[in-house]
Amino acid sequence: MLKRERLRNILEIVTDRRFVTVDELAKALQVSDMTIRRDLNELNTTGKVMRIHGGAQVISQQDSVEKNYMQKREINISEKKAAAEVASKIVQDGETIYVGPGTTLEFMVAKLNQKKLQVVTNSLPVFEAAKKNPNNYELILIGGSYRRVSGAFIGALANNQLRGISFDRGFVGVNGIKDTSMMTANLEEGQTQGLGLNRSRKKYVVADYHKINRNDFYEFYHLYDVDGLITSPGLDPDIVKHYSQITTLYQGSE
């Protein structure tokens, strides 16, 4: 079977079944597991399927429509909490941290257990989650133009406030990471997050593994400019190897 025909058959199977394992594809097409992995990585790179641990799943057409933060809270909860747990433990007692918008970062600030912290955010949902944390942290909410779909304050007012603050660590979320590109759905929101990272001594991106090898509208930062990618377990070993060559990779436990 020619490679072009094999790729077409794989795409048809994934589209039909929604999710398929490497073993299932290898048996269906009568080729080796290694060949299937290479084919899936190629289809993932071109954005035709989503590569996940042990196989691949279909990319929904609805992914092109940005979900609001309340809808995102109900998606991949266990994976988000696993990444959030790792991120919360990186923070050191007494630090000032910037936390950008994102449902995984809501879980992160809820899990913070340091004795003393100063938490600065331009996200209303993150601020509300931090406010419910039983530890008496100093909380600062950056104001600006309110973006309802994400609950973030963005624009010139937010950016001017961030320029006057220095952070020990900065944490941002993304809608997608593809090779060295960190992407989000909105240009202004991305610019504000990028500024928060630029003002941070240590920089981290926090994203469950479903965000890896995903594209979105606006590239707001480069992965090689951050100190770490914090994600959940479930990434294919080849993808782990790839991103570990770009930045330090932190993975939560099962």
Average pLDDT, the chain: 90
What is this structure's pTM?
0.75
Say which range, 62-66, 76-80, 123-127, has the weakest mean pLDDT: 62-66
Q: What is the pLDDT of residue 214?
A: 85
Q: What is the pLDDT of residue 58?
A: 74
Provide the pLDDT confidence category of residue 51 given band limits of 50, 70 and 90.
confident
For residues 79-84, average pLDDT = 94
Q: What is the pLDDT of residue 61?
A: 42
User: How many CA within 13 A on the CB side of residue 151?
Assistant: 22
For residues 101-117, average pLDDT = 96
- For the cut 80, the answer to whether the pLDDT of residue 53 exceeds it is no
